[in-house]
Amino acid sequence: MDRTAPGRTACGDREGDLTAHAAPLVRHPPAGRWCRRPRGARAPRPRVRHHHAGLHAGHRRQTPRGLRDVTSPCSVVLTLSVSAVTEQTETAEERHASWLELFFDLTVVAAAAQIAHRLHGAESVGQIAACAALYYAVWSVWTTTSVYANVAGERTRQRAVLRTMLGIAIMAAAVPGVWPELLAGEHDDVPHGRTAVFVVAFVLCRLIAARSAARDGQVVTFWPATQSVAVTPWIASIFVPQTVAYWLWGFAITVDLVFSMFGARNPRSVARMTENARRRQDERDKRTARKLAHLIRRGVSPDRLPDASPTLISVAQVERGHLTERLGLFVIIVLGEALAQVVAANTELDWTWAVIASSFAAFLIVVKLWRLTTLYGFTPAPLIAKPLEPWQALPAHLGVTAAIVAIASGLGVLIPDATERLHATDRWYLFGGLALYLLTSVFAALAGRAPLKWYLGWALPSLVVSVLAGVLGHAVPAWSLAVLAYAVLVWFASYDRLVKP
């Protein structure tokens, strides 16, 4: 990464410049290096460059995907006078998840297990929605931290990631005691106050990710939730009755998703985020300068003081390969929880033919979900013509992983009752989760312009069968429902085998 000192400006090929009179387009920087004009008294003040190397869209059909170039329409013409400029002229080599990131993922394993167990006690739509809110909180903390690590690269602050890891662990430990009156379950003896612990840990984790990105001078415009959080509804939910807190959580989650999905597409929102980041950074630089000046007045040698160079402001670039890999790893994590549910359900049962059949079918369901992930990426749809942009891919990832958690919970209930008729709630865990999985793939396919024959021949029939099984499945034993769910996934995944590219 080349950096231009204050008072210097780039000359030569000016395609990447964002000036007040430029056309409202953002182009990639040239392949060569920028030449610089010597520092002078009349040199124009530097401006922020918005260079989105983006997410390379020219990939083949079955390559794991989910993201696309973020240059349009998120980029905007800006004229910002700042104390320093970052010039990003070379695309970094594609990297993979670090050991720190893989270690960080371990807490999500524990959190997914706790939420799946808590889902077993949910009987009404409201209780299921409450469990979904718990899952969103964990998912959003993981996502914002992963996005921060994606844009920071080698500059990722290890302490920030480890602190967030501790926060997710606290959230996971608090899950059994969140909303004890609303979500009655196996942990009724858990001390009260865990809801407040969960909320405070969530808010602090989100603030850690936002502060870390800001300290590096990064403005994450492709997923704005990384650097913002609706703190007020979450904190207010601690001091109100649980029936009111329920709606406050829903409002905060809606604001989070809407702001991230539509803010990333709105040029005015992008401009506002960049301007706010510039102002905050200017204030931090001024405070640092005052502290250093005070130390110098007290006799401290300037050579002993830290570097007072202003922090460079830049619009963050997303590394497509790395982020796609991270999202895919999260899918593997929740698939691991589904497999754990299948194993745990068999530990104390007599292995009758029905238990064996349902367990084998459950295992094959997990395998088929994994196969779809390796086939299409974390969005289970054949995106031939148009890969997803970040603001589309991340909500799709939320839907897919939440669906797998619901399926895992359904499998954990189905196996012990293999010869019985499943209760409607337990039946909908399995087929409702499967329907959500298929519905998410449809939305991803709409954004990716999948072929019409995939909708009519594979997605729609699979979705209809899943819904009908949830409604009419009370007439058949549980083991046959597991076989039916596997058959649905077999047909859904057969598109790649039966239809040639």
Identify whether the C-beta of residue 67 lies closer than 8 Å to the C-beta of residue 390.
yes
More confident residue, 491 or 287: 491
Q: What DSSP assignment string belongs to 218-250?
A: EE--SSGGGG---HHHHHHGGGS-HHHHHHHHH
Per the structure block, which two tokens stand in for 242?
A: 């649980």
54-68, 121-135, 180-194, 330-344: the lowest-pLDDT one: 54-68
Alpha-carbon gap, residue 387 to 393, rounded angstroms: 9
* Best CA proximity match to 483, nearest among 408, 437, 414: 414
Alpha-carbon gap, residue 389 to 123, rounded angstroms: 36
Q: What is the model's pLDDT at position 432?
A: 93
pLDDT exceeds cutoff 80 at 159:
yes
More confident residue, 457 or 316: 457
pLDDT exceeds cutoff 90 at 468:
yes
All structural domains of the chain:
99-267 (no CATH), 322-498 (1.20.1410)
Average pLDDT, the chain: 76
Alpha-carbon gap, residue 107 to 161, rounded angstroms: 12
pLDDT exceeds cutoff 70 at 44:
no
Work out the percent of the chain whose per-residue pLDDT is above 90: 33
Per the structure block, which two tokens stand in for 185?
A: 């379950």
The beta strands (E) that lie in 295-377 are given as: 314-315
Q: What is the model's pLDDT at position 311?
A: 62
Alpha-carbon gap, residue 45 to 9, rounded angstroms: 8
More confident residue, 153 or 14: 153
More confident residue, 95 or 490: 490
Distances from the Cα of 348 to the Cα of 343, 344, 355, 365, angstroms? 10, 8, 11, 22
pLDDT confidence band for 9 (50 / 70 / 90) = very low
Q: What is the model's pLDDT at position 27?
A: 37
What average pLDDT does this structure show over 139-160? Answer: 88
Q: What is the model's pLDDT at position 314?
A: 63
The beta strands (E) that lie in 83-236 are given as: 85-87, 218-219
pLDDT confidence band for 118 (50 / 70 / 90) = confident
63-77, 129-143, 348-362, 372-386: the lowest-pLDDT one: 63-77
